[in-house]
């Protein structure tokens, strides 16, 4: 049972990481396809809100 839960959580983390790269499963270009890990783990359904996304840019 714990193994299955770890697989499901691992898949959510994989999905989260996959959508942080442009062009991979994200034809719009990257910014519209990023999801919070809180959303992907369905924690927002239980009242846990996610924070602002971390953005890295030139000069930051």
Binding positions for another protein, rule: CB under 8 A: 1, 4-5, 8, 11-12, 15, 18, 25, 39-42, 45
Cβ 11 to another protein, closest distance in Å? 6
CA distance 12 to 42: 9
Cβ 60 to another protein, closest distance in Å? 29
Q: Which of 7, 10, 28 is nearest to 19 (CA)?
A: 28
CA distance 23 to 37: 20
Cβ 21 to another protein, closest distance in Å? 13
């Amino acid at each position: 049972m714990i193994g299955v839960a770890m697989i499901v959580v691992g898949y959510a983390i994989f999905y989260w990481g996959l959508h942080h790269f442009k062009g991979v499963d994200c034809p719009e270009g990257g910014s519209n396809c990023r999801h919070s890990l809180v959303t992907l783990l369905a924690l927002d359904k239980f009242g846990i809100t996610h924070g602002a996304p971390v953005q890295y840019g030139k000069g930051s």
